[in-house]
Chains A and B, each alone.
Chain A
Amino acid sequence: MNAISKDMSGPLSSFAQRLNDVEGAERQAAIGALLRTGLPDRHVEAWKYTSLRPLSAQEFQAPPAQYDAAQAKSLLDNLLSQHDAVQTLPRIVFVNGRFVKDLSLLPEGMDVSFFSQKSLTVDVQASPDRDPLVALNTALVEDGAILHVAKGVDAGRMLLISLGVAGDTAISFHPRHSVVLEEGARLCLLSLSAGVGPYFHNPVTEVTVGESAKLYHTTLQTEGMQAIALATTYVQVAGHGVYNSFALGLGSLLSRHEVHARLNAPHAQLHVNGAQNLANHQVGDITSVITHAASDCISRQTVRNVLDGHARGVFQGKVLVEQVAQKTDGYQMNQALLLSENAEIDAKPELEIYADDVRCSHGATVGALDDDQLFYMRSRGVPEAQARHILIAAFLDEALSLIEDETAQEYCRAMLAIHFSAERKAA
């Protein structure tokens, strides 16, 4: 088995010891795929703008059985205390990638099970062969939530929470979640993540939205500032189904929110909106591949980035319209507000269209704060720092208004306000 670790170079070597110990055919196959490709470097087109070098800087251990429970509790309280409506919501809480029953409040109206209790079944959507981060997840996954909403059931609103609690030693966890909505089912899901210390969070989430089902999925990423968070989500939507999502990224030293979505039957709808607010040396990558595989489907994507200090935002958005997908209605927009000379946005919108009767548009804007607006506000007595803040908040607020679930929208607004006030205190 030691032969494997000799073949591991670059970032992959940070997991060498653990990969050596992996057992089971599926996991071995995933390692095989990893060994063929390694973790991607910037010569790989999909990773041209985001480097995984930070993964090489340290070895990531499996999370120890014990963690600082007080710290986990405090992280959880921070997430729950900011909005009354979320405090009493059902929640499934993972600490360092493992389900913690004591912190959770299991939902009713759906089947909940866990990967740890099942033999690992690799869904057809997430393929270790195509995506090395999925391969790494497949090789090292321990746990994850499996949510199943039966036909016609409205399962209400719930939280899926990941807490990373690392001490001096860097750890990594690789949860695998699955969300299935059967025909006509409905769910509002809020995925929250937070943490402290050096850790790597590598979740893979697979979503299946059945016919006429509706999933409202809001992701709030407030990982610790030493954290690396690389999340991959696979979505398939059946006819007349709706996957309406919004991802707000605030934390992490390095983050990637990658969505692969496929509209499988006519009149399916997809919204993959998002926003990120980054400062210092943060890097945040929002990547999506949206495939229209049937006619009369709608996809919408609006992403807004606020970048300060030496922060760098990456937007890669590909819309692929297959030949059968006539009457496709696609829209994609990436906007960035650069607050410093050293901030950077890399935007790569892509349209690949094989059908001839479609309506697809995309665009990108980059700008600084508007001097006329700033002067106007200051001439009304608003101090410069406050005027700047109001304009930044307004820019992000317009994006947040795209969150369909009102509670989730209010919650994100509250969390963003807290993030801003912490930022201002630190400044």
Chain B
Amino acid sequence: MSQFLEISGLCARIDADGQEKQILRGVDLTIPPGEVHAIMGPNGCGKSTLSYVLAGREDYEVTAGSVTFKGQDLLAMEPEERAAAGLFLAFQSPIELPGVNNANFLRTAVNAVRRARGLEELDAVAFLKMAREAAKSLSMAPDMLKRNVNVGFSGGEKKRNEVLQMTLLQPSFAILDETDSGLDVDALRIVAEGVNRLRSPDFSALVITHHQKLLDYLVPDRIHVMAKGRIILSGGPELAKKIDQEGYTKFLAEAA
């Protein structure tokens, strides 16, 4: 196992209304254990596609390249196997599950992952205690565990619920797809603190964002700029400020 997560030459396309559209055009990216990396880039550059491909969404067809995660061929695994292996995707637009109780769903997910990891399943009492504490640390209203998954949640509540799921599933690698979008400053801070609490030598993250603000709270080890389906530039945390001040256009022109 050379690296924790290694993406090389990744190409992917989607079939949109009968037209095949190439979105990823050779992504190379390596994330070592314990590091938080950020991806920035203009709309439509392929950031979300990358996150979906890594999580195993079937609408995307990988046409070339490889992804190894802890030495395993990630692309050969089912979405649930990836989750069990320690990958977590915080959705940009979390999905509503009408009729599915949030606490029950969380427990089902946590126990499915624990089972796959060879750990003992949690009973309802032990789980609820853990879930309540985690929800409290994210300043979530207690009744959010009793409601249906994401149904009737505000944008901010949905994002917190994603971080709650992440906290309970204890991933070793999390992708946060624009988790900051639609959050006010207070919510942003709470969400960022939630992620920071998970930071450890055994936890890596890939943060997809448009805004520098999140990166103030969640200082990344590396920043990558993505354009037209490729990583065109990588650098330290100072890159975020430069992008914020100068916009993407200059970087895109330089890369072209």
Contact = CB atoms under 8 A, between A and B. Distances in A.
A380 B56 contact: no
Interface of B: 55-59, 78-80, 82-84, 88-89, 91, 94-95, 97-100, 105, 108-110, 112-113, 116, 165, 169
Interface stretch (A79-87, A350-358, A382-390, A403-411): A382-390
A423 interface: no
Nearest to B96: A373
A379 B83 contact: yes
14 contacts: A371-B58, A373-B97, A375-B57, A376-B95, A377-B97, A377-B109, A378-B83, A379-B80, A380-B83, A380-B112, A381-B116, A382-B108, A390-B97, A398-B99
Contacts of B97: 373, 376-377, 390-391, 394
Given A386-B112, A390-B108, A381 B84 contact: yes
A395 B97 CA distance: 10
Contact of B80 (A371, A384, A398): A384
B247 to A, nearest CB: 33
A391 B149 CA distance: 12
A380 B99 contact: no
What are the nearest 8 A-B pairs in CB distance? A394-B99, A381-B83, A381-B113, A378-B79, A376-B95, A380-B109, A398-B99, A381-B112
Given A381-B169, A383-B80, A384-B78, A390 B57 contact: no
Contacts of B116: 381
A398 B109 contact: no
A123 interface: no
Majority SS at the chain A contact face: helix
A341 interface: no
B80 A382 contact: yes
B105 A390 contact: yes
Contacts of A383: 80, 112
A26 interface: no
Nearest to A395: B99
Nearest to B100: A394
A162 to B, nearest CB: 30
A154 interface: no
Given A391-B100, A393-B99, 11 more contacts: A371-B58, A375-B55, A376-B97, A378-B56, A380-B165, A381-B84, A381-B109, A384-B78, A390-B108, A391-B97, A398-B98
B117 to A, nearest CB: 9
B80 A378 contact: yes
Nearest to B55: A379
Contact of A382 (B91, B94, B98, B112): B112
Contacts of A398: 98-99
Contacts of A371: 58-59
A379 B99 contact: no
A179 B51 CA distance: 61
Nearest to A375: B57
A397 B99 contact: yes
Contacts of A378: 56, 78-80, 83
Nearest to B97: A373
A280 B169 CA distance: 37
A397 B97 CA distance: 12
